[in-house]
Chains A and B, each alone.
Chain A
Amino acid sequence: MKRRVNMHRKLNMQKRIPGFFILLFVIMVSATTLIQGQQRFPKPEFDSGYVQPDPTSPEPRSVALEYFDVFVLLAALSLASWLAVRKRSRKGLMWLSIFTLIYFGFYRDGCICSVGAIQNVALSIFDPAYTISLAALLFFLLPLIFALFFGRVFCASVCPLGAIQDLLVINPVSIPSWIRKTLGFIPVIYLGLAVLLAATGSDFIICRYDPFVGIFRMDGPFLMIFLGVTFLLLGTFYARPYCRVFCPYGVLLSWMSKFSKYHMSITPSECIKCKLCKDSCPFDAIEVPVDKAYRKPEVARKNLRRFVLYLALIPMLTLLGGWIGSKSHVFLSRMHPDVYLAELMISQPELREDETNLDIQAFLESGDTFEQLVEQAIVIRTKFKKGGLALGAFIGLVLGITLMNQVVFRRREDYEPHKANCFSCGRCMDFCPVDRGT
């Protein structure tokens, strides 16, 4: 401690002298004099006038540039909203998506992104030791707030992951609704799991399994690139597969967008029910006018009965999900490296002698006792018990509400975008033959 104070005093004194290198030199000299007595091989005193080279220390990207990213995000979101809702320009949205693909994708190497920011927010709420950067927080919040007003304009042309897939929608096929709805449930599970694992400090799975970051960097492990290329190839006929089947941020955006105030519309004035737009949407996100049959008394009664049944199912599914979730906490907690290591050392004590097991060897070298590790693992597992309960209940609840929505019919006489699923890409707007009117 004393040594440190001493060093600080020296540093403070030298601050008056301008020049970083002088400062660096002083740090080195003071550090050397302090420790010289203890070094195995003391630093020699050179006769030849040798000067020790300066170690280089390249600076990280400056904080100001992080805020510039936020500014670009805000500008892109505003422009996308204007293009989708007011200007109604598919072309404009596409060019904007190319720009964001280049900027957030290839220039910023896919990091920082709103999808991954979910985990930063979750971790910062549950782990007081972690401080979220303001940029990451804004990346999480801004697209959601925009979605609340203008729909998923973030997906349309601000998200680089969406942009790279959207540009490769070549020959999209229509997917039966039951497959779409079943697969559409995967993101909910993915979101819940990602939040649980981030909140417990286990892992950031969204980032680990981000399929396109390897392509943006043009570098990465084989699996990452393979995954990315597979998604892109799949996307030529199953449009935007990552967005529709995996993206956890899309779940949050769809909730917001469903109740958005000024969502884009297919037709600029009055729908003439020409069906031209129906085939233009590669994502099956256009809703057709509802068959009036649902208003017939016998059908309505049947639907009402199903509605009441599903409504009653919601609390049961929530409880069931919570029960399953808390039961599986032992399994889930193995995703945390400490729990994994503790379990491994208990189940296979002979691995302590295994020189090739780096994790165990490093732990034995670290000086922590085995009891400390086990204690730590138990604390984490308790967290997982609560987290598993919440995760299961969340999945059950969403499943229940999804089921209930199957039998809720809303009067609809026009062709309209499905506000939750629509990416606001604007393809349908070009197909609408109706003039803008006056």
Chain B
Amino acid sequence: MKKDKVSSRRDFINKGVRLTLGLTVVGTGAMALSRRSGGEEYVWQIDPFKCTQCGRCATECVMAESAVKCVHAYDLCGYCDLCGGYFKPGAKLQTGAENQLCPTAAIQRKFIEEPYFEYIIDEELCIGCAKCVKGCSAFGNGSLILQIRHDRCKNCNQCAIATACPSNAISRVAANKPYIIKGHFTNEKEG
């Protein structure tokens, strides 16, 4: 008889605590849910207007091969012979490796017509070091930009590069607009 009393008291306490805990969990969920402004999912992306080409994208990604690659916005390109993103500053106009800015020779230069050249990024070789981006922004139109490539990005809960980025250029963007295309070449945003 006494045992039953104890166990029923225990059951009662357990039930009460269980209810409290359950309500707390549901309440926390509801609170987080009520703070949801949009119904969108997010992915990480670099804002090329904020990027200062520090080079950390190449090293800070949790993957050995960074998910950040150089992307060429062709419609901004001047197709220059003397490309600031391709040649080292002051280098001769010869395409030898010693004259190329890219440490992995990931930029292919293709003759189109006098005096224009097309520059293609070989994504397999690109390490996202931003050397060419810096060169292109300094001497050219800024048509070379860094972007997180979503076929490579693991979409970590917290992007390791975003934490390390000195200019806060990496943020969550809506998953249905996963790239920030540079449609403007100066450092000011549209609108």
> A residues within 8 Å of B by Cβ?
1, 3-4, 27-29, 31-32, 34-35, 38-44, 46-48, 50, 52-53, 55, 57-61, 63, 66, 109, 111-113, 116-117, 119-121, 124-125, 128, 130-137, 140-141, 144-145, 148, 203-204, 207-208, 213-214, 217, 219-221, 224, 255-256, 259-261, 337, 358-359, 361-363, 365-366, 410-411
Count contacts on B: residues with CB < 8 A to the other chain.
73
Q: Using CB atoms, name the residue of chain A closest to B77.
A: A43
> Which 6 pairs of residues, A with B, have the shortest CB-CB distance?
A41-B78, A362-B166, A204-B158, A58-B151, A60-B150, A31-B183
A437 to chain B, nearest CB (A): 21
Interface pair B185/A39, CB less than 8 Å apart:
yes
> B residues within 8 Å of A by Cβ?
3, 6, 10, 14, 17-18, 21-22, 25-26, 28-29, 31-33, 35-43, 50, 52, 54, 56, 62-65, 71-80, 112-113, 116, 118, 120, 140-141, 149-151, 153-158, 160, 163, 166-167, 172, 175, 178-179, 181, 183-186, 190-191
Q: Using CB atoms, name the residue of chain A closest to B62.
A: A220
Contacts of A213 in B (CB 8 A): 62
B33 to chain A, nearest CB (A): 6
Contacts of B65 in A (CB 8 A): 219
Contacts of A135 in B (CB 8 A): 41
Interface pair A220/B64, CB less than 8 Å apart:
yes
Interface pair B157/A119, CB less than 8 Å apart:
yes
Partner of A111, one of B6, B33, B36, B155: B155
How far is A214 from B156 in the complex, measured between Cα atoms in Å? 12
Contacts of B156 in A (CB 8 A): 111, 207
Interface pair B167/A365, CB less than 8 Å apart:
yes
Interface pair A121/B63, CB less than 8 Å apart:
no
How far is A112 from B118 in the complex, measured between Cα atoms in Å? 40
Interface pair B78/A40, CB less than 8 Å apart:
yes
Contacts of A366 in B (CB 8 A): 50, 52, 167
Interface pair B52/A125, CB less than 8 Å apart:
no
How far is A29 from B22 in the complex, measured between Cα atoms in Å? 57
Contacts of B160 in A (CB 8 A): 208
B41 to chain A, nearest CB (A): 5
Interface pair B167/A362, CB less than 8 Å apart:
yes
**Known contacts A132-B32, A137-B32, A358-B166; A44 and B79 CB within 8 A of each other:** yes
How far is A125 from B21 in the complex, measured between Cα atoms in Å? 18
Interface pair A60/B35, CB less than 8 Å apart:
no
Partner of B75, one of A43, A128, A207, A224: A43
Q: Using CB atoms, name the residue of chain A closest to B31.
A: A125
Interface pair B74/A53, CB less than 8 Å apart:
yes
Interface pair B41/A63, CB less than 8 Å apart:
yes
B19 to chain A, nearest CB (A): 9
Interface pair B191/A57, CB less than 8 Å apart:
no
Interface pair A116/B157, CB less than 8 Å apart:
yes
Q: Using CB atoms, name the residue of chain A closest to B3.
A: A411
A153 to chain B, nearest CB (A): 16
B112 to chain A, nearest CB (A): 5
Interface pair B167/A120, CB less than 8 Å apart:
no
Interface pair A41/B80, CB less than 8 Å apart:
yes
Q: Using CB atoms, name the residue of chain A closest to B54.
A: A358
A240 to chain B, nearest CB (A): 22
Partner of B141, one of A40, A117, A203: A40
**Known contacts A58-B150, A120-B157; A66 and B78 CB within 8 A of each other:** no
Q: Using CB atoms, name the residue of chain A closest to B153.
A: A60
**Known contacts A40-B78, A203-B163; A121 and B32 CB within 8 A of each other:** yes
Partner of A362, one of B39, B54, B181: B54
